Protein backbone atom coordinates (compact mmCIF):
# COMPACT_ATOMS: atom_id res chain seq x y z
CA UNK A 1 0.00 0.00 0.00
CA UNK A 2 1.32 3.44 -0.95
CA UNK A 3 0.81 5.62 2.13
CA UNK A 4 1.80 8.90 0.47
CA UNK A 5 1.92 10.35 -3.02
CA UNK A 6 5.47 11.61 -3.58
CA UNK A 7 6.31 13.37 -6.80
CA UNK A 8 7.89 11.06 -9.37
CA UNK A 9 9.92 12.55 -12.23
CA UNK A 10 9.93 10.71 -15.55
CA UNK A 11 12.70 11.91 -17.84
CA UNK A 12 12.63 11.55 -21.63
CA UNK A 13 15.52 12.56 -23.92
CA UNK A 14 14.47 13.13 -27.52
CA UNK A 15 15.82 14.14 -30.90
CA UNK A 16 13.84 14.28 -34.16
CA UNK A 17 11.40 11.49 -33.33
CA UNK A 18 8.25 13.53 -32.86
CA UNK A 19 5.66 10.88 -33.67
CA UNK A 20 7.37 8.31 -31.48
CA UNK A 21 7.73 10.88 -28.71
CA UNK A 22 3.98 11.51 -28.74
CA UNK A 23 3.33 7.83 -28.01
CA UNK A 24 5.85 7.87 -25.16
CA UNK A 25 4.30 11.01 -23.66
CA UNK A 26 0.79 9.57 -23.87
CA UNK A 27 1.93 6.46 -21.99
CA UNK A 28 3.17 8.65 -19.12
CA UNK A 29 0.04 10.78 -19.09
CA UNK A 30 -2.05 7.60 -18.89
CA UNK A 31 -0.37 6.24 -15.75
CA UNK A 32 -2.58 5.07 -12.89
CA UNK A 33 -0.28 7.04 -10.58
CA UNK A 34 -0.90 10.72 -11.26
CA UNK A 35 1.63 12.72 -9.19
CA UNK A 36 4.17 12.77 -11.99
CA UNK A 37 6.52 15.39 -13.36
CA UNK A 38 7.34 14.67 -17.00
CA UNK A 39 10.68 16.26 -17.87
CA UNK A 40 11.56 16.15 -21.58
CA UNK A 41 14.93 17.30 -22.91
CA UNK A 42 15.08 18.03 -26.63
CA UNK A 43 18.50 17.56 -28.22
CA UNK A 44 18.14 20.18 -30.94
CA UNK A 45 15.28 18.64 -32.92
CA UNK A 46 14.25 20.22 -36.22
CA UNK A 47 11.03 18.25 -36.84
CA UNK A 48 8.52 20.33 -34.90
CA UNK A 49 9.36 18.87 -31.50
CA UNK A 50 10.02 22.31 -29.98
CA UNK A 51 6.58 23.58 -30.94
CA UNK A 52 4.93 20.38 -29.75
CA UNK A 53 6.62 20.61 -26.35
CA UNK A 54 5.55 24.21 -25.91
CA UNK A 55 1.92 23.30 -26.56
CA UNK A 56 2.18 20.18 -24.42
CA UNK A 57 3.51 22.11 -21.41
CA UNK A 58 0.72 24.65 -21.82
CA UNK A 59 -1.94 21.94 -21.82
CA UNK A 60 -0.47 19.72 -19.09
CA UNK A 61 1.12 21.50 -16.14
CA UNK A 62 2.92 18.29 -15.15
CA UNK A 63 5.16 18.70 -18.21
CA UNK A 64 8.48 20.55 -18.19
CA UNK A 65 10.97 20.71 -21.02
CA UNK A 66 14.38 22.02 -21.95
CA UNK A 67 15.94 22.41 -25.37
CA UNK A 68 19.59 22.21 -26.36
CA UNK A 69 20.40 24.01 -29.59
CA UNK A 70 22.63 21.12 -30.66
CA UNK A 71 22.53 17.40 -29.98
CA UNK A 72 24.55 16.83 -26.81
CA UNK A 73 23.71 13.14 -26.56
CA UNK A 74 21.14 11.16 -24.65
CA UNK A 75 23.18 10.95 -21.45
CA UNK A 76 23.66 14.68 -21.25
CA UNK A 77 19.90 15.11 -21.73
CA UNK A 78 19.12 12.56 -19.02
CA UNK A 79 21.55 14.17 -16.60
CA UNK A 80 20.12 17.62 -17.21
CA UNK A 81 16.62 16.38 -16.45
CA UNK A 82 17.68 14.55 -13.28
CA UNK A 83 19.62 17.53 -11.95
CA UNK A 84 16.86 20.05 -12.64
CA UNK A 85 13.79 17.98 -11.84
CA UNK A 86 11.67 18.34 -8.71
CA UNK A 87 10.66 14.74 -8.05
CA UNK A 88 11.64 12.82 -4.93
CA UNK A 89 11.84 9.73 -7.11
CA UNK A 90 12.87 9.44 -10.74
CA UNK A 91 12.79 7.01 -13.64
CA UNK A 92 13.43 7.21 -17.36
CA UNK A 93 11.73 6.48 -20.65
CA UNK A 94 13.27 6.47 -24.13
CA UNK A 95 11.31 8.48 -26.66
CA UNK A 96 10.63 5.47 -28.91
CA UNK A 97 9.36 3.25 -26.08
CA UNK A 98 6.34 3.34 -23.78
CA UNK A 99 5.15 2.61 -20.27
CA UNK A 100 2.33 0.20 -19.55
CA UNK A 101 -0.39 1.93 -17.45
CA UNK A 102 0.62 0.72 -13.96
CA UNK A 103 4.40 1.05 -14.32
CA UNK A 104 5.04 4.01 -12.03
CA UNK A 105 2.60 2.72 -9.42
CA UNK A 106 4.17 -0.75 -9.50
CA UNK A 107 7.72 0.55 -9.17
CA UNK A 108 6.89 3.01 -6.40
CA UNK A 109 5.06 0.30 -4.48
CA UNK A 110 8.04 -2.06 -4.80
CA UNK A 111 10.73 0.45 -3.81
CA UNK A 112 12.36 0.19 -0.38
CA UNK A 113 15.37 2.10 0.90
CA UNK A 114 17.33 -1.12 1.36
CA UNK A 115 17.50 -1.51 -2.42
CA UNK A 116 19.71 0.62 -4.65
CA UNK A 117 16.81 0.77 -7.09
CA UNK A 118 13.88 -1.26 -8.38
CA UNK A 119 13.27 -2.29 -11.97
CA UNK A 120 11.04 -4.67 -13.87
CA UNK A 121 10.78 -7.06 -16.75
CA UNK A 122 9.97 -5.58 -20.12
CA UNK A 123 8.49 -6.47 -23.49
CA UNK A 124 10.61 -6.40 -26.64
CA UNK A 125 8.28 -5.45 -29.50
CA UNK A 126 9.46 -6.45 -32.98
CA UNK A 127 6.22 -5.28 -34.59
CA UNK A 128 4.59 -8.61 -35.28
CA UNK A 129 6.12 -10.38 -32.29
CA UNK A 130 6.32 -9.36 -28.66
CA UNK A 131 8.77 -11.11 -26.35
CA UNK A 132 8.93 -10.66 -22.56
CA UNK A 133 12.47 -10.39 -21.22
CA UNK A 134 13.91 -10.33 -17.69
CA UNK A 135 10.38 -11.26 -16.58
CA UNK A 136 11.38 -12.98 -13.33
CA UNK A 137 11.73 -11.51 -9.87
CA UNK A 138 15.29 -11.16 -8.64
CA UNK A 139 17.35 -9.49 -5.95
CA UNK A 140 20.20 -8.19 -8.11
CA UNK A 141 23.55 -8.57 -6.38
CA UNK A 142 26.79 -7.39 -7.89
CA UNK A 143 27.87 -10.85 -9.07
CA UNK A 144 24.72 -11.27 -11.17
CA UNK A 145 24.94 -7.69 -12.46
CA UNK A 146 28.47 -8.27 -13.73
CA UNK A 147 27.21 -11.19 -15.86
CA UNK A 148 25.08 -8.79 -17.88
CA UNK A 149 22.68 -5.92 -17.27
CA UNK A 150 20.01 -7.54 -15.09
CA UNK A 151 18.09 -4.27 -14.76
CA UNK A 152 17.47 -3.48 -18.45
CA UNK A 153 17.66 0.14 -19.59
CA UNK A 154 15.48 1.86 -16.95
CA UNK A 155 15.28 1.79 -13.16
CA UNK A 156 13.32 3.58 -10.44
CA UNK A 157 15.07 5.15 -7.45
CA UNK A 158 15.39 8.38 -5.52
CA UNK A 159 16.64 11.32 -7.54
CA UNK A 160 19.14 12.05 -4.77
CA UNK A 161 20.80 8.66 -5.24
CA UNK A 162 21.23 9.20 -8.96
CA UNK A 163 22.91 12.52 -8.27
CA UNK A 164 25.05 11.23 -5.38
CA UNK A 165 26.21 8.34 -7.54
CA UNK A 166 27.43 10.67 -10.28
CA UNK A 167 24.64 10.36 -12.88
CA UNK A 168 25.16 8.83 -16.34
CA UNK A 169 28.76 8.84 -17.52
CA UNK A 170 28.76 10.93 -20.69
CA UNK A 171 32.13 9.53 -21.73
CA UNK A 172 30.63 6.06 -22.23
CA UNK A 173 29.69 5.47 -25.88
CA UNK A 174 27.23 2.67 -25.00
CA UNK A 175 26.22 0.50 -22.02
CA UNK A 176 25.74 3.71 -20.03
CA UNK A 177 22.75 2.23 -18.24
CA UNK A 178 24.56 -1.02 -17.32
CA UNK A 179 27.48 1.04 -16.01
CA UNK A 180 25.37 3.36 -13.84
CA UNK A 181 23.21 0.58 -12.41
CA UNK A 182 26.39 -1.37 -11.56
CA UNK A 183 27.84 1.69 -9.86
CA UNK A 184 24.65 2.11 -7.84
CA UNK A 185 24.66 -1.50 -6.66
CA UNK A 186 28.28 -1.13 -5.54
CA UNK A 187 27.42 2.05 -3.63
CA UNK A 188 23.98 1.26 -2.18
CA UNK A 189 23.72 -2.53 -2.17
CA UNK A 190 21.54 -5.00 -4.10
CA UNK A 191 18.64 -3.89 -6.30
CA UNK A 192 15.22 -5.47 -6.76
CA UNK A 193 13.66 -6.63 -10.02
CA UNK A 194 9.95 -7.38 -10.21
CA UNK A 195 9.05 -9.88 -12.87
CA UNK A 196 5.89 -8.20 -14.15
CA UNK A 197 6.78 -6.43 -17.43
CA UNK A 198 5.65 -2.80 -17.44
CA UNK A 199 7.81 -1.29 -20.20
CA UNK A 200 7.71 -1.83 -23.96
CA UNK A 201 10.84 -1.50 -26.10
CA UNK A 202 9.79 -0.79 -29.68
CA UNK A 203 12.13 -1.77 -32.51
CA UNK A 204 9.71 -1.84 -35.46
CA UNK A 205 10.56 1.64 -36.69
CA UNK A 206 13.19 3.12 -38.99
CA UNK A 207 14.66 5.61 -36.54
CA UNK A 208 18.23 5.02 -35.32
CA UNK A 209 19.31 3.89 -31.88
CA UNK A 210 22.72 4.59 -30.39
CA UNK A 211 23.22 0.85 -29.97
CA UNK A 212 22.67 0.22 -33.70
CA UNK A 213 26.40 0.72 -34.18
CA UNK A 214 28.37 -2.49 -33.63
CA UNK A 215 31.48 -0.42 -32.96
CA UNK A 216 29.68 1.60 -30.27
CA UNK A 217 28.53 -1.55 -28.53
CA UNK A 218 32.00 -3.09 -28.51
CA UNK A 219 33.74 0.10 -27.38
CA UNK A 220 31.15 0.51 -24.62
CA UNK A 221 31.82 -3.02 -23.43
CA UNK A 222 35.55 -2.30 -23.39
CA UNK A 223 34.97 0.82 -21.31
CA UNK A 224 32.82 -1.18 -18.91
CA UNK A 225 35.49 -3.86 -18.54
CA UNK A 226 38.22 -1.32 -17.77
CA UNK A 227 36.16 -0.16 -14.79
CA UNK A 228 34.77 -3.41 -13.45
CA UNK A 229 36.90 -6.19 -14.91
CA UNK A 230 38.90 -6.44 -11.69
CA UNK A 231 35.71 -7.37 -9.84
CA UNK A 232 34.70 -10.11 -12.27
CA UNK A 233 34.74 -13.80 -11.43
CA UNK A 234 35.54 -16.51 -13.97
CA UNK A 235 31.81 -16.82 -14.70
CA UNK A 236 31.46 -13.05 -15.10
CA UNK A 237 34.29 -13.05 -17.64
CA UNK A 238 32.74 -15.88 -19.64
CA UNK A 239 29.47 -13.95 -19.81
CA UNK A 240 31.27 -10.76 -20.75
CA UNK A 241 33.38 -12.39 -23.46
CA UNK A 242 30.24 -13.93 -24.93
CA UNK A 243 28.52 -10.53 -25.05
CA UNK A 244 31.51 -8.98 -26.82
CA UNK A 245 31.82 -11.89 -29.27
CA UNK A 246 28.16 -11.95 -30.23
CA UNK A 247 27.59 -8.21 -30.23
CA UNK A 248 30.52 -7.93 -32.65
CA UNK A 249 28.38 -9.82 -35.17
CA UNK A 250 30.25 -13.10 -34.85
CA UNK A 251 28.37 -16.39 -35.09
CA UNK A 252 27.99 -18.87 -32.29
CA UNK A 253 29.05 -22.36 -33.40
CA UNK A 254 29.46 -25.54 -31.39
CA UNK A 255 32.98 -24.62 -30.28
CA UNK A 256 31.77 -21.21 -29.13
CA UNK A 257 28.96 -22.88 -27.18
CA UNK A 258 31.53 -24.91 -25.25
CA UNK A 259 33.90 -21.95 -24.81
CA UNK A 260 31.30 -19.56 -23.39
CA UNK A 261 28.97 -21.96 -21.61
CA UNK A 262 27.99 -21.17 -18.05
CA UNK A 263 24.53 -21.65 -16.47
CA UNK A 264 24.29 -17.89 -15.94
CA UNK A 265 23.80 -17.29 -19.68
CA UNK A 266 22.62 -20.70 -20.88
CA UNK A 267 19.40 -19.29 -22.35
CA UNK A 268 21.16 -16.41 -24.08
CA UNK A 269 23.77 -18.75 -25.48
CA UNK A 270 21.13 -21.14 -26.83
CA UNK A 271 19.20 -18.31 -28.48
CA UNK A 272 22.40 -17.00 -30.01
CA UNK A 273 23.31 -20.44 -31.35
CA UNK A 274 19.85 -20.89 -32.87
CA UNK A 275 20.00 -17.42 -34.40
CA UNK A 276 23.41 -18.20 -35.91
CA UNK A 277 22.15 -21.45 -37.44
CA UNK A 278 18.91 -20.23 -39.01
CA UNK A 279 18.91 -17.27 -41.46
CA UNK A 280 15.39 -16.07 -40.60
CA UNK A 281 16.40 -15.70 -36.97
CA UNK A 282 19.88 -14.40 -37.66
CA UNK A 283 18.72 -11.02 -38.92
CA UNK A 284 17.30 -10.31 -35.47
CA UNK A 285 20.08 -11.81 -33.42
CA UNK A 286 21.91 -8.62 -32.41
CA UNK A 287 18.67 -7.07 -31.17
CA UNK A 288 18.77 -9.44 -28.20
CA UNK A 289 21.66 -7.41 -26.77
CA UNK A 290 20.53 -3.85 -27.32
CA UNK A 291 18.94 -3.76 -23.88
CA UNK A 292 19.81 -6.99 -22.11
The pLDDT of residue 292:
47
- In a domain? residue 219: no
Last residue of a domain, one of 180, 202, 224: 202
Overall number of domains in the chain? 2
Say yes or no: 103 and 147 in one domain: yes
- In a domain? residue 88: yes
The pLDDT of residue 271:
85
Say yes or no: 176 and 268 in one domain: no
The pLDDT of residue 212:
53
Say yes or no: 70 and 196 in one domain: yes
Say yes or no: 129 and 17 in one domain: yes
Say yes or no: 238 and 189 in one domain: no
φ and ψ at 156, to 5 degrees? -125, 125
Q: Is 87 helix (H, G, I), strand (E, B) or coil?
A: coil
Say yes or no: 185 and 239 in one domain: no
Domain of residue 178, residue span: 8-202
- Residue 160 CB burial class (10 angstroms; 0-12, 13-18, ≥19): exposed
The pLDDT of residue 289:
46
- In a domain? residue 214: no
- In a domain? residue 225: no
- In a domain? residue 46: yes
Say yes or no: 267 and 161 in one domain: no
Say yes or no: 251 and 195 in one domain: no
Say yes or no: 118 and 18 in one domain: yes
| pTM for the whole structure | 0.91
CB-CB contact of 149 with 140 (8 Å):
no
Say yes or no: 196 and 257 in one domain: no
* Cα separation, 72 vs 217, whole angstroms: 19
CB-CB contact of 14 with 21 (8 Å):
yes
The pLDDT of residue 285:
45
Say yes or no: 74 and 135 in one domain: yes
- In a domain? residue 213: no
| Tens-binned pLDDT, residue by residue, of the chain (292 aa) | 455 799 999 999 999 999 999 999 999 999 999 999 999 999 999 999 999 999 999 999 999 999 999 999 999 999 999 999 999 999 999 999 999 999 999 999 999 999 999 999 999 998 778 899 999 999 999 999 999 999 999 999 999 999 999 999 999 999 999 999 999 999 999 999 999 999 999 987 655 554 456 788 999 999 999 999 999 999 999 999 999 999 888 889 989 999 999 999 999 998 888 888 875 554 554 454 444 4
Instruction: Give the CATH number, domain containing residue 158.
Output: 3.90.550.10
The pLDDT of residue 210:
45
Q: Phi/psi zone of residue 16: left (φ > 0), alpha (ψ -120 to 50 degrees), beta?
A: left
Say yes or no: 20 and 81 in one domain: yes
* Cα separation, 164 vs 175, whole angstroms: 20
Amino acid sequence: MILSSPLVTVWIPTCNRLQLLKRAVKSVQSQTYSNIELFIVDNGSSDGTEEYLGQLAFEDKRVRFHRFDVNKGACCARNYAIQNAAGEYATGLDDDDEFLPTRVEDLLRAFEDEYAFVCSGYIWDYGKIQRPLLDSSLIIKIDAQLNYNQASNQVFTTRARLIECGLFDESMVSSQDWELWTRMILKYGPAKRIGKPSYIVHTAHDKPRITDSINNRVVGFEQFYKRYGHLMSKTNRKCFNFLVHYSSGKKIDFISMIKFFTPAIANKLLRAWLASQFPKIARKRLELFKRD
